[in-house]
């Protein structure tokens, strides 16, 4: 019975998601049962964990026979997945099932619609797995879904029900048992639409064996009793022989093996089993990109089974994301997202670590300081990085997928994991001027360096095209020097802090002085340079004074060949993008003045020198200097200090040319 029923409307995005599920294009609808069993298993894990930590729950909750039970009714065409785990309160039901309150919902639904319209089943499944809405997959096979739940330690249960058409009802469920039961009122069987008889014992066992065999909790279902079992069940009954003939006698049978994959020999586990286990722990619907096994023996023993996903989750760069791998102690689940085992920059790695020597009552705070956990983390990180390095050599296509999905996150490790900085740089890939269609490794860059080149040159910017068209590139392009083109926000930070790779220091081509001439070339143009310095000395001194509010120096450039001017950051100053980043994080940063470099061979610059030498009008000369500075800022991706004034000066000059 349920009382106090209330009807609510789904959020718009939730309604759209339900309709996509109801009118699903998936050829494999069996996965709905995997999702429900996985949710039930999670609920059992959470109850076991809470009973270890909370004495009140330990006293109030029954943990003597934790299991998942699947019940089917052929006549009523219902399928129920039941667990006696942690359960949910009314607020939990509203928050977790009645609505979808995650950020990114609108974009997610739009992406899912596009995948459906394109009839791309794999893309649809991957999107749903990333968003974590497996419960809604029930509507692929059911006309109505009912949920009855009671949270462990509470006395009142909750009932939720919906036909997926836009509303749901919630009421109080009297006498609800501890845990959660999800009942599906199944659609008619339609094999042409991949809707099978999900009340069939054979079909249920087939799905459980394929997708959930490794789950560590028993998955039970009622099956017809064998003759011996019937005799045992009715051994005290005087009419035992008649009971043995009764076809309605059933027994609960455990239909999964419950064998932990990480504890089994690698030769005993198939790729499909690894894949299904990954989907279970990650709630992703796509296969993993790579599987990593670790068996540590000796004074500190543990087993680990890690996975690198094939696609970045939607929340990879969201603050509220969860990260970390599952922690077990001697096969007992302890923690779902153990952050202490995996650093922030490897937050996409999923998996299980099973330690032999930790306390079952260990807390997150204790883990952060635990020496054994720290040792495990170092080993796990090194294994993940070495696996990616091996992937790059043996399976370049798979590596390319990895780097395109997770490269931005991995590069964050250059700022936090100094012990592994060389290893991270060794697996990184970058756009460069060497090949417009292919990224390169730093090792390949170093092998291609010109004789006598001492630096790894790079330039940061918003996009490849912006960087390639930067005035800073001109001399490097003309002389054939390869330049790394760094477009990720994190590049601004690590490139400033990373000292070197393979003995070669990183050097921004927009900082300090640039001199690409050989000693022989310097000698050839020495006299010409000295003469230019004399000719432009007065102009440079005057412009430095005229623009002193914005620049620290105006000087001649050796990096420009076609542009009239460019902005350069002093060798000891932070670039503007990095200054802005620190300010956004709340750190007060003074604005460092930059250097304006002029191209002495450009007609505009040489004309300005002539006009200044001939005593031109001070006001017009000052305006030209402002325009030069403003154009240099624009070319560098910035903008003039006073945009209105810049536009006005430019319009006035253009008018005079007509």
Mark the binding-site residues, compressed into ranges: 35, 39, 83, 88, 102-104, 130-135, 180, 364
Tally the C-alpha atoms within 13 A of residue 22's C-alpha that lie toward its C-beta. Answer: 14
Q: For every residue of 206-249, which 3-state class applies, written as one string?
A: HHHHHHCCCCCCCEEEEEECCHHHHHHHCCCCCCHHHHHCCCCC
Pairing state between β 455-460 and 504-508:
parallel
Q: Under 8 Å CB-to-CB from 369, ≥6 apart: which residues?
A: none
For tokens 């080993």, what's the residue?
379
Contact yes or no for 423/390 (Cβ under 8 A): no
Q: Which residues partner with 568 through β-bridges?
A: 595
Contact yes or no for 466/414 (Cβ under 8 A): no
- According to DSSP, residue 545 is labeled H
Calculate the dihedral angle through the C-alpha atoms of 105, 108, 113, 116, rounding to the nearest 10 degrees: -130
For residue 471, give Cα distances in angstroms to 487, 522, 627: 17, 22, 16
Annotated binding site for ATP: 35, 39, 83, 88, 102-104, 130-135, 180, 364
Closest by CA to 556, choosing from 133, 300, 564, is: 564
Closest by CA to 377, choosing from 468, 284, 310, 306, is: 306
For tokens 């659609």, what's the residue?
187
Number of CB atoms found within 10 A of residue 175's CB: 8
Tokens of 473: 């590139």
Tokens of 431: 């756009």
- The length of the chain in residues reads 658
Q: Under 8 Å CB-to-CB from 21, ≥6 apart: which residues?
A: 136, 137, 139, 140, 164
Q: How far is CA 68 from the centre of its chain?
A: 31
Q: How far is CA 302 from the centre of its chain?
A: 27
Distance CA 284, CA 349 (A): 12
Calculate the dihedral angle through the C-alpha atoms of 646, 647, 652, 658, rounding to the nearest 10 degrees: 130
Phi/psi at 432 (5° precision) = -145, 170
Pairing state between β 68-73 and 219-224:
parallel
b/e map 348-371, b = 16+ CB within 10 Å? bbbbbbbbeebeeebeeeebeebe
Tokens of 618: 């001070």
Distance CA 251, CA 223 (A): 6
Distance CA 5, CA 3 (A): 6
């Amino acid at each position: 019975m349920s009382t106090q029923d209330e009807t609510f409307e789904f959020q718009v995005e939730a309604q759209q998601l339900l309709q996509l599920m109801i009118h699903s294009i998936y050829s494999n609808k069996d996965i709905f049962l995997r999702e429900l069993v996985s949710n039930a298993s999670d609920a059992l894990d959470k109850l076991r964990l809470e009973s270890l930590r909370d004495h009140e729950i330990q006293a109030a909750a029954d943990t003597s026979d934790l299991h998942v039970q699947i019940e089917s009714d052929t006549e009523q065409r219902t399928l129920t997945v039941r667990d006696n785990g942690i359960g949910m309160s009314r607020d939990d039901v509203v928050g977790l099932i009645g609505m979808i309150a995650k950020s990114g919902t609108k974009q997610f639904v739009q992406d899912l619609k596009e995948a459906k319209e394109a009839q791309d089943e794999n893309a649809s499944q991957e999107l749903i797995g990333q968003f974590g809405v497996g419960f809604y997959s029930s509507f692929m096979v059911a006309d109505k879904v009912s949920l009855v739940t009671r949270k462990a330690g509470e006395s009142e249960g909750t009932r939720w029900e919906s036909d997926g058409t836009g509303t749901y009802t919630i009421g109080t469920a009297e006498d609800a048992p501890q845990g959660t039961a999800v009942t599906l009122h199944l659609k008619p069987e339609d094999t042409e639409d991949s809707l099978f008889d999900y009340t069939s014992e054979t079909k249920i066992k087939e799905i459980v064996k394929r997708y959930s065999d490794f789950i560590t909790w028993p998955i039970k279902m009622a099956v017809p009793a064998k003759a011996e079992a019937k005799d045992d069940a009715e051994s005290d009954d005087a009419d035992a022989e008649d009971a043995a003939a009764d076809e309605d006698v059933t027994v609960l049978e455990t239909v999964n093996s419950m064998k932990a994959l990480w504890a089994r020999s690698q030769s005993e586990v198939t790729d499909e089993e690894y894949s299904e286990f990954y989907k279970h722990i990650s709630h992703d619907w796509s296969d993993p990109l790579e599987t990593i096994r670790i068996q540590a023996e000796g004074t500190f023993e543990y087993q680990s089974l890690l996975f690198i996903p094939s696609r970045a989750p939607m929340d990879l760069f969201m603050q509220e994301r969860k990260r970390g791998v599952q922690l077990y102690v001697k096969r007992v689940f302890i923690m779902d997202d153990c952050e202490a085992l995996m650093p922030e920059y490897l937050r996409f790695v999923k998996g299980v670590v099973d330690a032999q020597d930790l306390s079952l009552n260990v807390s997150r705070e204790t883990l952060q300081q635990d020496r054994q956990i720290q040792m495990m983390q170092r080993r796990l990180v090194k294994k993940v990085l070495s696996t990616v390095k091996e992937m790059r050599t043996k399976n370049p296509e798979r590596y390319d997928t990895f780097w395109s999905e997770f490269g931005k996150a991995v590069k964050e490790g250059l700022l936090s994991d100094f012990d592994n900085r060389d290893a991270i740089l060794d697996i990184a890939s970058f756009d460069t001027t060497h090949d417009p269609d292919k990224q390169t490794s730093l090792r390949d860059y170093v092998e291609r360096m010109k004789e006598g080149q001492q630096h790894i040159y790079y330039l940061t910017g918003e996009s490849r095209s912006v960087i390639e068209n930067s005035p800073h590139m001109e001399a490097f392009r003309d002389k054939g020097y390869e330049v790394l083109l760094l477009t990720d926000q994190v590049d601004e930070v690590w490139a400033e802090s990373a000292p070197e790779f393979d003995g070669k220091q990183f050097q921004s081509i927009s900082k300090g002085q640039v001199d690409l001439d050989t000693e022989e070339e310097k000698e050839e143009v020495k006299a010409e340079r000295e003469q230019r310095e004399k000719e432009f000395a007065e102009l440079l001194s005057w412009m430095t004074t005229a623009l002193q509010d914005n620049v620290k120096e105006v000087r001649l450039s050796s990096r420009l060949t076609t542009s009239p001017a460019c902005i350069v950051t002093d060798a000891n100053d932070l670039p503007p993008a990095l200054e802005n980043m620190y300010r956004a994080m709340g750190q007060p940063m003074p604005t460092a003045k930059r250097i304006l470099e002029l191209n002495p061979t450009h007609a505009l610059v040489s004309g300005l020198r002539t006009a200044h030498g001939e005593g031109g009008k001070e006001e017009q000369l000052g305006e030209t200097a402002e325009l030069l500075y403003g154009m240099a800022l624009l070319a560098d991706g910035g903008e003039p200090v006073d945009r209105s004034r810049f536009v006005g000066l430019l319009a006035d000059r253009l008018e005079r040319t007509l």
